[in-house]
Structure 1
Amino acid sequence: MSYLFLKMLHILSSTLLFGTGLGSAYYAWRAWRSRNLEVIAATFRHLVTADWLFIATTAIFQPLSGLWLAHMAGWPLNQFWLLASVVLYVFAGACWLPVVWLQIRVRDLAEQARQNAQPLDARAYFYMKWWFALGWPAFIAFMVIFWMMVGKPL
């Protein structure tokens, strides 16, 4: 595989990862703010599926393709921008894993409340507070990673 083709796949994958994450966050927040159980249940059901189909697969491809690109380019892995990017990527992943768990819980609680025609359980509000709190650091980490990839500061 050529360096340029792999770089294109790496960029497309990062776009899919970041775009799906941002889009998911937007739709989850809008659904949550609607307070409509039908909307929340349906949105979070699709959101969890999208996370596994798109975010999980690209989250695995990104470090593999990034390390392969670094190897092909002859960049030592101890360069600041590479190390910082890896650390930030691991940090963002550490935020994302509990977010997925929280989304699954909210999805299940919303579906249960919808089926039983009951109000949403208080745990869902607690989960959404953590979901929101964990999303921001991951988003900021990805913005810094993009800057590192483009600027390659020493």
Structure 2
Amino acid sequence: MDNYLLLKIAHSLPAILVFVGLLVHVLMLWKAARGGDAAVLQRKLRRTRLISLPLLGVLALSLPVSGWCLVNSAGLPLGQLWLLASSGLYVLLMLFGLLLAGRLAAWQALGATPAPTRLLRFTGVYAGLMVLVLLAILGLMGAKPV
């Protein structure tokens, strides 16, 4: 197998896993919050914060490393517009991820108390912004020159 193809797979797979993982967790928490059972919601919040967010974070942190290796092996300059734009969006993605982690921690700290609508709104906005930024990054990666 060609090294470039192997690097491309090593870069694409975590990107897809982060995107799908984020969507699955947003839907899972939304469904648990709408279900009304506080114990189920707390269990899902705890599992998301202790297992899923760190795993998704490690996958997301692997993307710049594998991306740099991929660009370097292709011989592309780092100053290309699509690469600079996706790097800027990646920084936004990490910022929204940290803000989302903080909102999830605040939500979990409430325990059985119903979450205020402001907290739920901010949590949803951060998750939605992360999905949009990920879609934009994936679009830039797909539209790059060969």
Question: Aligned runs of 1:1-150 on 2, under 5 Å?
Answer: 2-48=3-49, 49-52=51-54, 54-110=55-111, 113=112, 119-120=113-114, 122=116, 125-150=117-142
User: Normalization by structure 2: what TM-score?
Assistant: 0.90
How far the C-alpha of 1:140 sits from its partner, in A, is: 1.0
State the superposition RMSD in angstroms: 1.6
User: Normalization by structure 1: what TM-score?
Assistant: 0.86
Paired residue total = 143
Measure the CA separation in 2 of the matches of 1:23 and 1:93. 18
Tell me which moved more, 57-66 or 99-108: 99-108
Unpaired runs of 5+ residues, structure 1, are 114-118
What percentage of residue pairs aligned between the two structures are identical? 27
Q: Which residue of 2 aligns with 1:116?
A: none
1:147 is matched by which residue type in structure 2? G
Measure the CA separation in 2 of the matches of 1:56 and 1:74. 28
Unpaired runs of 5+ residues, structure 2, are none
Per-residue deviation, residues 55-103 of structure 1 (Å, max 9, x unmatched): 1111110111111111111111111111111111111111111101111
